[in-house]
A and B are shown apart, each in its own frame.
Chain A
Amino acid sequence: MQTGFFFQALVYLCAAVVAVPIARRLGLGSVLGYLLAGAAIGPFALGLVGREGADVLHFAEVGVVMMLFLIGLELEAVRLWALRGALLGLGGIQVVATSLAIGVTALALGAEWRVALVAGLVLALSSTAIALQSLREKGLARTDAGERAFAVLLFQDLAVIPMLVLLPLLGAHAAGAGGAAHGATAIDALPAWGRALATLAAVAAIVLAGRFVVPPLFRAVARSGVREAFTAAALLLVVAIVLLMQSVGLSPALGTFLGGVVLASSEFRHELEGDIEPFKGLLLGLFFLSVGASIDFGVVAANGASVAALVVGLVAVKAAVLLALGRAARLSAEQNLLFAAALAQGGEFAFVLFSLAAQGGVLAPEEADLLVATVALSMAATPLLLLGWERAVRPRFGARRAAREPDAIDREGPVILAGFGAFGSIVGRFLLANGVETVVLDADSDHVALMRGFGIRAYYGDASREELLRAAGAERARLLIVATGSLETMRKVIHTAKHDFPKLRVAARARSRVEAYELLDAGADAIYRASLDTALRSGADALRALGFPAYHAHRAAQRFRRHDEASWRELAAVRRDERVFQSRARESLQLLERLLREERDVPDPVDDNAWDAASLRAERARRDATDC
């Protein structure tokens, strides 16, 4: 068993490691890479994984659930509300119109009415995982088409619920199958009104818990300072929602999405994103792999012509409905094509629903296999369609896309501030006072809660994590200011930022000269020595107190700062050769000695000859003398 598990893991991981980079290099996108790899290792090609692929598929669906959770986290309630028109209008019409179109086509082709109805309903659904992952990977999720596509997918998730109820009614033996496949039994015992009530209660529970129970709980876990504990809490949250949703027969994806939306306005948003992201990535990859593995090439080969016709027909019918909808929703031609390309495939629910239908006797097993293969192939076609859109359609509409870019920038703060302590809080307050949108990352959850009370966009988390920086908008931000507690953290933050976001400018505060050197070595673009300006200001005030003119004192301080910065930079080069085998304390002392020695010989720090008329007077005296 053990060996079996590890062998399976080896196969799946190898497939991912080999296929995905190749697919990306070829410009096909990771989704297609996973699908192809899955097909290759599947029981119908290399046969490295067997029929248990179906179980893996179920397990991997948690990846889809997590993706919806993450999408929810990015979508605050206000934006969701703004989507309501698209959700109900576009989504509703898409499901009904596509079901009708496919159903009628099936009837015309001579299918039995029940088969036609089931096929129509189930094939109307698109694949949330494929569509959203492909759009996000290409950075298209926030386009007009991306947002409309998302609304439609969300509605489809809602539409699954009545379909699960309806399907068993069509078949004789399938009464319990819907529940069983969905992992729930308890709720089936209830009368209809009880079920409705339980469903509402579950939704209310998610909203209320997300608002009032989860944040204090997370705060307590965060205070413990153990990062794994927080990761565990994040996973616990997702798994708990999944179980709750299954027990009332609702879609887990929908539940976690809702949980995400509720938590989107909490300070843990970015940390949660950072924690769930890797799991989501892996499980989603696993999901695509198992979709690929489930393509039954035996069926495909035996029915080559009809499978091909089915796939093309399915994509064509779905795309036609979507294009008409997009046109009605006043999408531009370019965006409308993207909208249609993104959603013109069968969804993962088809795998579940078709097998249910087969168990219920609504579909013959061969029919079900044929339809499942069709859906899987239509999924594989999506990345290709999007690739075609990218290559053939988008270049003609380049200007429009460019015009939308600033919008994306505005949504993310142009400045990310890591650390809101003595230094960071001044920088942050200053930026906010000047109307600069600033995202604050701080490792102290009490601190963060306090800031949020004042409406500051603050998030709890360790800024040295790539995911957290990404979630805070590092790809679009113009400046990252690093002012966290320990030197070690600062170095890590700078390293991560420079490595993963090379375009991001990094400024760091240093508490000493030596620390400043370390941060420079770590790759910071600008260093601000925390005590330099304050010390010089008090020095200038000391001069004034002794009777120096204020402007003289001011310029003397400015000049000294310039001198100090220059000597600091100069020594940075020297230091690189000398620092080996030195302790920090010793280095600090040597630096100081060198500075003192150099400055002993500086005569008058301010020598504004321009204001000295002595040379003018001398010249004039000479001239007068010769004149005589």
Chain B
Amino acid sequence: MSNAILVLFAHPALQRSRVQRALAKAVRDLEGVTFHDLYEAYPDFDVDVAREQALLAAHDVVVLQHPLYWYAAPPLVKQWFDLVLEHGWAYGARGTALVGKRFLCAVSAGGDEAAYCAEGENRFSLRQLLAPVEQTARLCGMEFLDPFVVYGTHALGEDEIEAAAAAYAARLGALRGAER
């Protein structure tokens, strides 16, 4: 039995992005993957909570794909978290809708991997910077998977971008078949 994957994609200006465009293109049409472009669905930030909850309930793996701006996701992702993950549905004594699902962050960062450590320019590892998201997933009873990260996007050449996109597709493919 294969897992259904929901990709929550958030990019406010996709026409300006090279890496995210390639990543999105690589997984958009994969079998068993529902690709959900949040900025396309809610340009006015008016998130349809019932629809989003139904989508979440219908999938086994939730992938949150976005570029890292100022060490965090674009604002619509925050809005989505705030509205969709309701108490009594996603967390709390009776909030068990997401328990047992797996959660993967798929982010691209402008800086090199070396910049994301205590001695580096950004002073924190990417995993540390993603702590709020990790804790959110945990509180909802989801398993937080090791994030998929594309570093140094500003310096990537076309080949490297293609390679990253392929790696991303492979990661999702593996999640699709993987048993817990």
Contact = CB atoms under 8 A, between A and B. Distances in A.
Interface of A: 549-555, 608, 611-613, 616-617, 620, 624
15 contacts: A550-B40, A550-B41, A551-B39, A551-B43, A552-B13, A552-B15, A554-B44, A608-B12, A611-B12, A611-B13, A611-B17, A613-B16, A613-B17, A616-B110, A624-B155
A549 B39 contact: yes
Contacts of A553: 43
Interface in B57-96: none
Contact of A554 (B16, B43, B155): B43
A555 B12 CA distance: 10
B171 interface: no
B154 interface: yes
Given A550-B40, A551-B43, A553-B43, A613 B14 contact: no
Given A550-B41, A617-B155, 6 more contacts: A549-B14, A552-B13, A613-B153, A613-B154, A616-B110, A620-B154
Contacts of B40: 549-551
Nearest to A608: B13
Contacts of B17: 611, 613
Interface string B92-117: 00000000000000000010000000
Given A549-B40, A553-B43, A611 B16 contact: yes
Contacts of A549: 13-15, 39-40
Given A613-B110, A616-B110, A551 B154 contact: no
Contacts, number: 40
B124 to A, nearest CB: 20
Contacts of B110: 613, 616
Nearest to A553: B43
B39 A550 contact: yes
A309 B112 CA distance: 103
Nearest to B13: A611
A555 B15 CA distance: 14
Contacts of A552: 13, 15
Q: Across chains A and B, which 8 residue pairs bring their CB atoms closest together, nearest first?
A: A554-B43, A611-B13, A550-B43, A551-B39, A551-B43, A617-B154, A550-B40, A612-B16
B38 to A, nearest CB: 9
B150 to A, nearest CB: 13
B44 to A, nearest CB: 6
A585 B169 CA distance: 61
A551 B12 contact: yes
A375 to B, nearest CB: 69
A611 B110 CA distance: 12
Contacts of B16: 611-613
A508 B154 CA distance: 51
Nearest to A620: B154
A613 B19 CA distance: 11
A62 B14 CA distance: 77
A612 B39 CA distance: 17
A608 B14 CA distance: 12
Interface in B12-37: 12-17
Contacts of A611: 12-13, 16-17
A620 B121 CA distance: 14
